[in-house]
């Protein structure tokens, strides 16, 4: 009967498509499309086991159990409500419906509806039923406004945003309607979707492999105007907002890499957790996973190459918080949880690959935010994909993705009674000012320049950014003279940046003249960054200066290099090499020699080699090679990325470094197997006052600390960040961590022991999951090396009590060198030391 019905439906639908036989061929195109969609949907329903009824037979059910495999802070408890095999329940997104049930999408073409067990009923079970919606592989789910909205990157039925109406308000779904067709899909395609604070807009996010939909009605982002010299960068990693019917479509922000989800706080501010590119680790343009405040008009600077904009660029909003390596997935605010007050305002973010959930505690900083974070939940493995607050005040999250099994967990507070839900905080003045400026984005308004102009000189970087974007949306002819007549230094710099980005190339000389008029010595670090950034944009969009103007620009910049700041040196070197400034070699070699990590040296090395070293003296070549770590250069060549292998093989060839030397013995001899008590005298206040921090920087590099630890904006990501150690630890505690790295291990960086069926064991960090396989990093000095472990071969998985950081790392250094290293770690930003910072 079902087969016959489906055959008849197929015949009728084909007649409709051909324009005859069905309603005498008088079906309007829109109605014909709807009818076809409805027939396909009905055919699928009739052929399914469960149909579309709100209540169907469960495909799985289970009693809650305490999830001892998940670690959470004291006072919290985690329940595993149900588990599903990977082929049926590798869940990747979730949302609650009005009845408190959870709708989840499988990574394939399945959706489930889950009734969580009641918290206060010990006999209550969690049940799972399969539902048919006509949409599968949804990375984003949202039940709102009487419909289920699904964002799918799957090719079938089609990538895009769908609205699936709840026809009876009880979970009986009608045929899906494609609201927005989106080009691109897969793991870097369209992702999460949320309802805006005023319930007028749906906001959704997409990864860097996703094109923009057609029919955008408003663009909040003021992209750099193209010229014959430079084309506009392709929008990627964007956030859009649409009306619930999909007809109004606005590009809200762009320049992210591959953020999976987004969330609003109680003040209506939007946040996301963006991914890193593991392939860029150890390179100057690497940026770790970051928490971003997603504001109207923002371009966060991801460019999929060495052209990524660094966080100190004034036209690139800095992150709220750097987090580290990982694979960001679901995010949600703790609004509505029955948790202690600080967690009610926390932003919870999931890291799929490392099995972590972080809680970020945001603090206002002018018109934007900063944040502290803590490690909230972890497991081995715990590939969390999405997270939501339930109507019962608990925090729910699911696992799945890449063929891993699906689990549903519930986090509850089991400590003392919690205070009432946190009230909505009042919107402070800076936020109101920023929002008023953002209302001007994407519009040509007669009063826009007048309204935004005073904020170009604001001390608040976020307000300067918003004002510049608002002005860039207006015709440059309406404001370019105001820029060139500005007398306030900050207004002039911000205005010149807008002019460099949007102005006609004929304005190049005027931009240079205004830059010449500024007194470098009186500028702050941020203002110097702005000045150099204006030069850089002008060179890119309006071409390099020629003749006398070239000499004048060189003269303006040449005497500033090298500078005391690492970020200034990076920009000055770039500009001066672009201008083919003579006599740069010795100065750049001096910078290279005192740059503590290869990650940052590579920037200068590429500039030097692009110019060519054929004119270097023997002494200069010797200095250049001695400043580098050939072992680390060779390690980059061994990475599994063809473009890097090709580029760095050529660098090694030009430098004359042996690409494959025989193993060399350790150069530094053993000094002593130090104990903490033996070294305590070198970290007293008096001893540290006499320390040589520049030598400490050398020790930091020789010990290869930067392979794993991030300091400033550079370094590795396998171990804890070292920024701000002095504010968190006493010198004795820092020393103890160096001598005894396994005494205290953060859960974030704890390794895992795999005991295999054959009796062997492997210890390392889980960095990826793929179907029935763990991928494990075992050597901190080879971050791209992986060991693959089949799950079927594993007898037990245990947390290791041994740090990935090797013990005895100080045993080849003297007392004085260890003293200098600790002093450097306490105060790495001392004058004369090359460590860049993100300044706001």
Give the DSSP letter string of 784-829: T--EEEEGGGEEEEEE-SS-SSPTTTTTTS-HHHHHHHHHHHH-TT
Q: Are 382 and 251 part of one and the same domain? A: yes
Instruction: Report yes or no on 504 lying in a domain.
Output: yes
Give tens-digit pLDDT for 302-337.
998 889 999 999 999 999 999 988 899 999 999 999
Looking at per-residue confidence, does 11 or 503 come out higher?
Answer: 503
Can you give the pLDDT at residue 486? Answer: 98
Q: Are 278 and 362 part of one and the same domain? A: yes
Can you give the pLDDT at residue 713? Answer: 59
Can you give the pLDDT at residue 750? Answer: 73
Q: Are 389 and 519 part of one and the same domain? A: no
Total structural domains within the chain: 6
Q: Are 593 and 691 part of one and the same domain? A: no
- Residue 157 above 70 pLDDT? yes
Instruction: Report yes or no on 248 lying in a domain.
Output: yes
Q: Are 608 and 507 part of one and the same domain? A: no
Can you give the pLDDT at residue 613? Answer: 87
Can you give the pLDDT at residue 51? Answer: 41
Lowest mean pLDDT among 61-75, 527-541, 820-834: 820-834
Can you give the pLDDT at residue 9? Answer: 33
Give tens-digit pLDDT for 454-463.
999 999 999 9
Give tens-digit pLDDT for 339-356.
999 999 999 999 998 899
SS3 for 296-307, per residue?
CCCECCCCCCCC
Overall average pLDDT of the 571-578 stretch:
98
Residues 6+ apart with CB under 8 A from 25: 19
Instruction: Report yes or no on 795 lying in a domain.
Output: no
Instruction: Report yes or no on 780 lying in a domain.
Output: no
Q: Are 86 and 196 part of one and the same domain? A: yes
Q: State pTM to two decimals.
A: 0.84
Lowest mean pLDDT among 30-39, 236-245, 334-343, 444-453: 30-39
Strands 752-756 vs 794-799: parallel, antiparallel or unpaired? antiparallel
Q: Are 479 and 466 part of one and the same domain? A: no
- DSSP strands (E only) in 97-213: 102-106, 111-115, 126-131, 138-144, 147-152, 160-165, 177-181, 190-195, 202-206
Q: Which of 524, 559, 594 is the last residue of a domain?
A: 559
Strands 190-195 vs 177-181: parallel, antiparallel or unpaired? unpaired
Which one, of 577, 824, 837, lies nearest residue 693 by Cα?
824
Instruction: Report yes or no on 781 lying in a domain.
Output: no
Can you give the pLDDT at residue 712? Answer: 67
Q: Are 463 and 430 in contact (CB under 8 A)?
A: yes
CA 438 to chain centre: 23
Strands 249-253 vs 160-165: parallel, antiparallel or unpaired? unpaired
Give tens-digit pLDDT for 21-74.
333 333 333 333 444 444 444 444 444 433 445 557 889 999 999 999 999 999
Q: Are 598 and 279 in contact (CB under 8 A)?
A: no
Q: How confident is the model at residue 711 (pLDDT cuts 50, 70, 90)?
A: confident
Q: Are 390 and 519 part of one and the same domain? A: no
- Residue 3 above 60 pLDDT? no
Lowest mean pLDDT among 44-53, 252-261, 532-541, 671-680: 44-53
Give tens-digit pLDDT for 637-673.
888 788 888 888 988 998 888 888 775 545 678 999 9
- Residue 525 corresponds to which tokens in the numbers above? 């670090």
Lowest mean pLDDT among 217-231, 469-483, 823-837: 823-837
Overall average pLDDT of the 597-601 stretch:
88
Instruction: Report yes or no on 787 lying in a domain.
Output: no
- Residue 781 above 70 pLDDT? no
R_g (Cα) of the chain, nearest Å: 29
Q: Which of 502, 524, 559 is the last residue of a domain?
A: 559
- Residue 542 corresponds to which tokens in the numbers above? 């309006």
Instruction: Report yes or no on 342 lying in a domain.
Output: yes
Can you give the pLDDT at residue 805? Answer: 85
Overall average pLDDT of the 479-497 stretch:
98
Q: Are 274 and 205 part of one and the same domain? A: yes
- Residue 392 above 80 pLDDT? yes
Q: How confident is the model at residue 714 (pLDDT cuts 50, 70, 90)?
A: low
- Residue 792 above 80 pLDDT? yes
- Residue 715 above 90 pLDDT? no
Q: What is the Cα–Cα distance from 635 to 630, expressed in whole angstroms?
A: 9
**Percentage of the residues of the chain whose pLDDT score is greater than 90:** 63
Q: What is the Cα–Cα distance from 162 to 134, expressed in whole angstroms?
A: 10
Lowest mean pLDDT among 281-285, 291-295, 381-385, 428-432: 281-285
Can you give the pLDDT at residue 34? Answer: 47
Residues 6+ apart with CB under 8 A from 298: 221, 253, 254, 255, 292, 317, 465, 469
- Residue 764 corresponds to which tokens in the numbers above? 């390392």
Which one, of 79, 76, 118, lies nearest residue 413 by Cα?
76
Q: Are 166 and 297 part of one and the same domain? A: yes
Q: How confident is the model at residue 414 (pLDDT cuts 50, 70, 90)?
A: very high
**Percentage of the residues of the chain whose pLDDT score is greater than 70:** 89
- List the strands of the sheet with 289-294, edge to edge: 262-264, 270-274, 289-294, 321-324
Length of the chain: 840
DSSP state of 57: -
Can you give the pLDDT at residue 831? Answer: 53
Can you give the pLDDT at residue 752? Answer: 86
Overall average pLDDT of the 542-563 stretch:
97
Q: What is the Cα–Cα distance from 438 to 465, expressed in whole angstroms?
A: 10
The whole-chain average pLDDT of the chain stands at: 88
- Residue 578 above 90 pLDDT? yes
Can you give the pLDDT at residue 768? Answer: 72
Can you give the pLDDT at residue 258? Answer: 97
Looking at per-residue confidence, does 361 or 726 come out higher?
Answer: 361
Q: Are 512 and 629 part of one and the same domain? A: no
Can you give the pLDDT at residue 272? Answer: 99
Instruction: Report yes or no on 835 lying in a domain.
Output: no
Residue 237 phi, psi dihedral angles, 5° rounding: 60, 55
Residue 582 phi, psi dihedral angles, 5° rounding: -75, 165
Q: Are 466 and 386 part of one and the same domain? A: no
CATH number at 804 reads 1.10.760.10
Domain that holds residue 726: 676-750+800-826
């Amino acid at each position: 009967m079902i087969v016959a019905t489906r055959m008849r439906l197929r015949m009728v639908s084909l007649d409709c498509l051909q324009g005859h036989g069905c309603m005498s061929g008088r079906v309007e195109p829109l109605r014909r499309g709807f009818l076809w969609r409805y027939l396909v949907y009905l055919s699928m329903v009739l052929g399914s086991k469960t149909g579309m009824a709100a209540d169907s037979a469960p495909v799985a059910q289970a009693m809650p159990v305490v999830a001892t495999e998940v670690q959470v802070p004291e006072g919290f408890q985690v329940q595993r409500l149900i588990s599903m095999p990977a082929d049926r329940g590798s869940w990747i997104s979730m949302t609650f419906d009005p009845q408190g049930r959870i709708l989840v999408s499988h990574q394939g073409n399945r959706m489930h509806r889950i009734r969580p067990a009641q918290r206060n009923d010990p006999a209550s079970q969690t049940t799972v039923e399969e539902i048919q919606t006509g949409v599968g592989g949804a990375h984003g789910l949202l039940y709102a406004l009487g419909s289920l909205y699904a964002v799918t990157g799957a090719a079938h039925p089609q990538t895009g945003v769908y609205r699936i109406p709840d026809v009876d308000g009880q979970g009986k779904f009608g045929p899906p309607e494609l609201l927005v067709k989106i080009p691109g899909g897969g793991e870097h395609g369209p992702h999460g979707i949320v309802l805006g604070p005023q319930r007028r807009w749906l906001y959704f996010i997409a990864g860097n492999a996703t094109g923009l939909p057609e029919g955008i009605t408003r663009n909040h982002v003021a992209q750099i105007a193209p010229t014959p010299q430079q084309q506009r960068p392709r929008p990627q990693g964007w956030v859009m907002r649409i009306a619930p019917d999909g007809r109004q479509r606005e590009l809200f922000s762009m320049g992210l890499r591959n953020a999976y989800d987004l969330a609003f706080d109680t003040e209506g501010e939007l946040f996301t957790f963006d991914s890193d590119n593991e392939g860029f680790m150890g390179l100057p343009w690497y940026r770790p996973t970051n928490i971003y405040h997603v504001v109207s008009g923002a371009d966060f600077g991801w460019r999929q190459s060495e052209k990524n904009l660094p966080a100190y660029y004034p036209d690139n909003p800095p992150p709220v918080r750097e987090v580290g390596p990982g694979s960001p997935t679901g995010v949600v605010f703790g609004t509505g949880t029955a948790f202690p007050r600080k967690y009610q305002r926390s932003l919870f973010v999931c890291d799929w690959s490392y099995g972590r959930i972080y809680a970020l505690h945001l603090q206002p900083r002018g018109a934007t935010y900063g944040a502290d974070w803590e490690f909230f939940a972890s497991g081995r493995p715990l590939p969390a994909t999405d997270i939501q607050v339930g109507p019962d005040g608990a925090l729910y999250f699911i696992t799945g993705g890449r063929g891993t099994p699906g689990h549903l967990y519930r986090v509850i507070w089991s400590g003392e009674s919690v205070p009432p839900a946190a009230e909505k905080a009042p919107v402070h003045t800076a936020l109101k000012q920023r929002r008023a400026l953002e209302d001007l984005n994407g519009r040509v308004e007669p009063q826009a320049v007048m309204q935004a102009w005073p904020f170009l000189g604001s001390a608040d970087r976020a307000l300067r950014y918003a004002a510049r974007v608002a002005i860039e949306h207006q015709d440059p002819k309406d404001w370019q003279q105001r820029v060139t007549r500005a007398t306030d230094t900050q207004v002039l710099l911000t205005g010149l940046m807008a002019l460099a980005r949007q102005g006609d190339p004929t304005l190049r000389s005027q931009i240079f003249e205004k830059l010449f008029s500024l007194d470098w010595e009186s500028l702050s670090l941020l203002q110097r960054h702005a000045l150099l950034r204006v030069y850089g944009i002008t060179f890119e969009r309006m071409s390099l200066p020629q003749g006398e103007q070239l000499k004048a620009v060189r003269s303006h910049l040449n005497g500033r290099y090298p500078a005391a700041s690492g970020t200034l040196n990076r920009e000055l070197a770039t500009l001066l090499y672009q201008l083919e400034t003579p006599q740069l070699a010795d100065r750049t070699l001096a910078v290279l020699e005192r740059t503590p990590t290869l990650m940052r040296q590579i920037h200068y090395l590429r500039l030097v080699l692009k110019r060519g070293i054929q004119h270097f003296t023997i002494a200069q070549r010797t200095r250049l090679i001695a400043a580098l770590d050939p072992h680390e250069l060779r390690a980059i060549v061994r990475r599994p990325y063809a473009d890097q292998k090709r580029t760095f093989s050529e660098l090694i060839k030009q430098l004359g470094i042996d690409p494959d030397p025989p193993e060399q013995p350790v150069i530094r001899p053993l000094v002593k197997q130090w104990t903490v008590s033996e070294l305590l005298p070198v970290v007293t206040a008096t001893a540290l006052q006499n320390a040589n921090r520049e030598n400490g920087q050398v020790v930091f590099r020789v010990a290869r600390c930067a392979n794993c630890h991030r300091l400033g904006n550079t370094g590795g990501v396998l171990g804890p960040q070292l920024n701000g150690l002095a504010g968190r630890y006493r010198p004795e505690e820092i020393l103890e961590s160096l001598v005894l790295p396994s005494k205290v291990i953060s859960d974030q960086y704890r390794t895992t022991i795999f005991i295999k069926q054959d009796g062997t064991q492997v210890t390392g960090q889980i960095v990826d999951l793929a179907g029935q396989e763990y991928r494990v990093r075992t050597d901190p000095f080879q971050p791209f090396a992986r060991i693959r472990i089949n799950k079927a071969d594993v007898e037990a998985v245990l947390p290791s009590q041994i740090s990935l950081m090797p013990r005895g790392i100080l045993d080849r250094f003297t007392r004085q060198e260890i003293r200098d290293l600790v002093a450097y770690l306490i105060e790495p930003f001392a004058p004369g030391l090359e460590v860049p910072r993100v300044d706001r």
